[in-house]
Amino acid sequence: MSRKKVVVSLALSLGIIFAVPTVDGVVQANTTSQIEAERSLLQSEIEEKKQELQEVQAELVELNEEIQRVDEAIEANEMMIEETEEEVTEKEEEISRLEEEVSELEEDIERRNDLLKDRAASIQRNGGSVGYLEVLFGAESFGDFINRVSMITKIAQADSDLIERFQADQEKLEIQKKEVEDKLKDLKEVQEELEMMQAMILTQKEEHEANKAILQEREAESQALVEELQLEDNELARVLEEARAEAARREAERRAEAQRQAEETARSVADTGNNDSSGEIQQYSASSSGSGSISNVISAGYKYIGRSSYRFGAGRNASDIANGYFDCSSFVQWAFSTEGISIPTSTSGQSQIGSRVSTSQMQPGDLVFFDTVRGRSNSHVGIYIGNNKFIGAQTSTGVAVADMSSGYWADAFKGHVRRVQ
């Protein structure tokens, strides 16, 4: 049996018990104990669900922190990838520049080699070193001879130095090119690793987000369940309070009746000449602290017309009454209390109060009952005001005057009328 069914079952049982006289309150005590036991189980379940909710919320906090760390890792990784891509671009540009320099240097070396080849060919055509000898022997003086020797030596040395420098530059450029290519290779490997790492981190984030969605769904379900159980606990608390109040009221009535009978017996013993003066046990009616005015009971609720709302279980404390929050039975109980007339707060209790009268004898101030819930009689109550109209807390309008001569209320009215006084 579900929790809601248990609460409804207990409430119905409570109404039946209130409607039937009990012996020494034994059945009422048992019912109260049953409600207390059921509420204790319900509160244990609430605490258990709250603990589950706290655990889910703790997991969510931890997961959110992990998601934040993953987001930070993604951001840092993206920066590293961007920096690496910039370095790769720089190295590729540097390689292109070095390749151009090597190409230009190779062209210079090639041109110089061609020049040397032409010079060597010319010397060979002129008989080996004859060209140089002609230059030397063509000197006009010894000083001129020395100058020509020096010039030829410098030209030969310059040619040799130029070739060596070109070769050294070429080797240097080749080394630089290799270093840059090696660095580029390393950077591309790092880039690939970073991209793989980024893919893994993104996958991890997707998994975290999926887990977060599951946890959020669990959190919502747990929260809704806790709230539902809390509402059921509140209803059980109300039913329990009502049971205790009704038990106390019945006990007070029992004591008063016992006192009355004791006093009547004492009078009968003292007055031996009049034995038929023993009082007839009166039919149960509401207790009143004053004469009360039924017209005032009826008019008390008019101030709430259009300024109230129906709330199940409301109207039983000063705050609800001040704000115009009532259910049907609490409004009726409050209206009579304004004239010092005490009646039960539940519809089932009110359906047993006073005396039952026929519809042809209805008077303003009588309680009229309606079967608005399928399978449950006397599920709604109001105060008859005459001309086939009654005032009550209606579920759709709050406190209002309704016509019971036709339509919905005529169909729901089964002729149950109670007179409080």
pLDDT of residue 132: 58
Which amino acid does the sequence have at 248? A
Closest C-alpha to 400, from 314, 322, 294, 301: 301
The burial of 35, by beta-carbon neighbours within 10 Å (0-12 exposed, 13-18 middle, 19 or more buried), is given as buried
Buried b (16+ CB within 10 A) or exposed e, 228-238: ebeebbebbeb
Could you tell me the two tokens for 220?
Answer: 């919502």
Would you tell me how many other CB atoms lie within 10 Å of the CB of residue 344?
A: 21
Give the long-range contacts of residues 377-380, CB within 8 A, separation 24 or more.
377/414, 377/416, 378/347, 378/348, 378/351, 378/416, 379/347, 380/328, 380/347, 380/412
- Its pTM stands at 0.36
Cα–Cα distance, 210 to 228 (Å, whole number):
27
The answer to whether the beta carbons of residues 277 and 268 sit under 8 Å apart is yes
Please state whether beta strands 325-326 and 355-357 pair in parallel, antiparallel, or not at all (unpaired): unpaired
The answer to whether the beta carbons of residues 112 and 166 sit under 8 Å apart is yes
pLDDT of residue 134: 64
Radius of gyration of the chain (CA): 54
Residue that has been written with the tokens 């929260």 in this structure: 223
The answer to whether the beta carbons of residues 396 and 372 sit under 8 Å apart is no
Q: Point out which residues pair with 133 in neighbouring strands.
A: none
Please state whether beta strands 325-326 and 367-370 pair in parallel, antiparallel, or not at all (unpaired): unpaired
- The number of angstroms, rounded, from the C-alpha of 248 to the middle of its chain's C-alpha atoms is 43
What is the Cβ-side half-sphere exposure of residue 232, based on CA atoms within 13 angstroms? 26
Q: Point out which residues pair with 342 in neighbouring strands.
A: 287
Cα–Cα distance, 386 to 399 (Å, whole number):
17
Question: Could you list the mean pLDDT of each consecutive 10-residue stretch along the chain, which spans 421 residues?
Answer: 50 47 49 83 87 87 84 82 82 80 77 71 55 63 71 73 77 81 83 82 84 85 84 86 86 74 49 36 36 80 92 93 95 95 93 94 96 89 95 91 93 95 72
Cα–Cα distance, 346 to 376 (Å, whole number):
14
Strand arrangement of the beta sheet that strand 367-370 belongs to:
355-357, 413-419, 367-370, 380-386, 389-394, 398-403
User: Which DSSP string do the residues of 149-175 spell out, in sequence order?
Assistant: HHHHHHHHHHHHHHHHHHHHHHHHHHH
Residue that has been written with the tokens 């151009």 in this structure: 100
Cα–Cα distance, 364 to 384 (Å, whole number):
5
Task: Reduce the DSSP state of residue 345 to 3 states and report it.
Answer: coil
pLDDT of residue 224: 86
- The number of angstroms, rounded, from the C-alpha of 305 to the middle of its chain's C-alpha atoms is 37
Give the angle subtended at the CA of 132 by the CAs of 128 and 133, to the nearest 5°.
90
Closest C-alpha to 7, from 326, 234, 345: 234
Residue that has been written with the tokens 């109207």 in this structure: 315
Cα–Cα distance, 202 to 63 (Å, whole number):
15
pLDDT of residue 316: 94
Cα–Cα distance, 220 to 211 (Å, whole number):
14
What 8-state DSSP symbol labels residue 417? Answer: E
**With the C-alpha atoms ordered 165, 167, 170, 174, is the resulting torsion angle positive or negative?**
negative
Could you tell me the two tokens for 217?
Answer: 């769904």
Could you tell me the two tokens for 115?
Answer: 């020049």
Bin 325: left if φ > 0, else alpha if -120 < ψ < 50, else beta. Answer: beta
